[in-house]
Structure 1
Amino acid sequence: MVNRVLGPRQEAEISPALRAYVDRAVIKALRDPVGRRDFALHADGGRVLPELTKVAKGGGWTQSSSGSSPEYAITDDSRIGHCWSIPGSAAQLGIQLSQMIFPTHVSIDHIPLEIAADIGQAPRTVVLWGALDGSVNESRRRHAFASSKVPVPALLYGRTAPKTTSRHKFILLGSFEYDIRGTYAVQTYPLDWCVVDSDLYFGVVVLEILDNWGGNATCLYRARVHGEPALT
């Protein structure tokens, strides 16, 4: 299909209201394709937790001494190469959210397939864990999952927590696969409905990367955590 430039007469047929609507939609899409507040964003108060941020190395888990800073993964700078560079295919990122929230979605950013030097470095299987802290949360967990109508979140490969817990008690919030051939480079996933419906709130989460798309290293451009503020 050949793209045509609108002539003066055709442009005149577009109403000012429609043109304004289109302009606002384009500006919004360019500014933020997700359209949800990111409670992990560093500029909004999110922080990386070093004790929960590890990379897989030699059969164990350790703090990364090479690659780029994990703080890159909670900034809104998506320039090529401006990512948390992980020397391998598995890692976990601990995040102190800007405030307690009822989480609903998580988004993963990468650069588009067409401009990536090695798309194999994109994360593939990603998991989000929530630190289940506080007596109120524990009470809500027991009450919510005591009912057969609300199933306990499924175990992940027999695990009930990320590889490194730093004494936190965790619950699985959701698992998903980043699609390198997807329509959009920024992809948003809903969390497990049974957690969303349980009224559990979280201030600490761990994003665990289980593997990538075949690269020798992994680049996490940005991890976003969405939800509603919890007034506790």
Structure 2
Amino acid sequence: MPDFALISSGAFHIPPLTSTFATTPSPWHMWLQVPDQRSFQSNSPNIALTADGSCWRIPQASGHLGIGFKIPVIITHLSIEHPPSQSMDAPRDIVLWGFIEQADNLQRYAFVDQDMDDQPPQEVIEESRKQNPTGSFIKLAHVEYSPFHNLHVQTFSVSENVLRSGFDFGLVVVEIRGNWGGDETCLYRVRVHGKDIHTGV
């Protein structure tokens, strides 16, 4: 399956929607700039969007990473990778949020069952409203990654409601709500799979 969250495929992390301990918020209009080598500074969230085997180190159990795509994507799956030799700092409780902002998506959104009590982190909601007051986050998947599984790359489907809706997304937020008991969490690689709305592939 193609990985739309890969830097080399045009994806980029979104500073205003990423945990503040890891990056400095930047203007919304900077999102679409192609990242240069300065983006790959020590412990940059970009690390989680590459295939070099390094980890984005979150200095606590929880955190979140905003990811923008080169083109809108119909999302079908999320994959999380973590080395099998480490377990305590592996992410455990993970939620994938998609940001709905196109008019046709917003019309269909009203007909999708959502748990309105479960929302992304408050700072994510506030930052998104500054740039697009009419947009809204929808939960695409709520999963548990296990470092004790025999596969170190684990793939999860988005919810059936979302798949049936046909929503496309220009950005997502990966929320880590907890790990396996470590003082910090290592996010080695996040993959977002789906279909290009222009090509259907």
* TM-score class normalised by the smaller sequence: 0.7 to 0.9
Q: Which has the higher contact order (CA 8 A, sep 6+)?
A: 2
Give the share of equivalent positions with the same residue, in percent. Answer: 40
For residues 165-210 of structure 1, give each alpha carbon's deviation from its aligned partner in whole angstroms, at most 9, with x where no partner exists.
2215211111000011111000000010100110111010000000
Assess if the C-alpha contact under 8 Å between 1:153 and 1:192 holds in 2. no
Does structure 1 residue 139 correspond to structure 2 residue 107?
A: yes
Structure 1 segments (4+ residues) deviating >6 Å:
none
Normalising to structure 1: TM-score of the pair? 0.71
Cα distance between partner residues in 2 of 1:198 and 1:93: 24
Residue in 2 aligned with 1:32? none
Give the equivalent residue in structure 2 for 1:38. 3
Aligned pair 1:69/2:44, yes or no?
yes
Mark the runs of 5 or more structure 1 residues left unpaired by the alignment.
Answer: 1-35, 55-61, 146-150
- Normalized per residue, the structure richer in strand is 2
1:88-127 matched pairs, under 5 angstroms: 88-112=60-84, 115-116=85-86, 119-127=87-95
Change (3 A) 1:135 1:141: same
Report how many aligned residue pairs link the two structures. Answer: 174
2:119 equivalent to 1:160 = yes
Q: CA separation in 2, counterparts of 1:154 and 1:185?
A: 30
Any stretches of 5+ residues in structure 2 without a counterpart? 24-41, 130-134
Describe the SS at the equivalent of 2:165: coil
User: Residue by residue, what CA displacement relative to the aligned partner does 1:113-144 show, whole Å, maximum 9, x if unpaired?
Assistant: xx33xx200000000000010211112223xx
Partner of 1:52: 17
SS at match of 1:197: helix
TM-score by length of 2: 0.81
Residue number among 174, 182, 193 corresponding to 1:207 in the alignment: 174
| Separation in structure 2 between the aligned mates of residue 126 and residue 160 of structure 1, nearest angstrom | 13
How far did 1:229 drift? 1.0
Q: Does the alignment pair 1:169 with 2:136?
A: yes
Give the SS at the match of 2:180.
Answer: coil
Bigger-Rg structure (1/2): 1
Secondary structure in 1 matching 2:75:
strand
For the residues of structure 2 that align with 1:152 and 1:74, how far apart are their CA atoms? Answer: 30
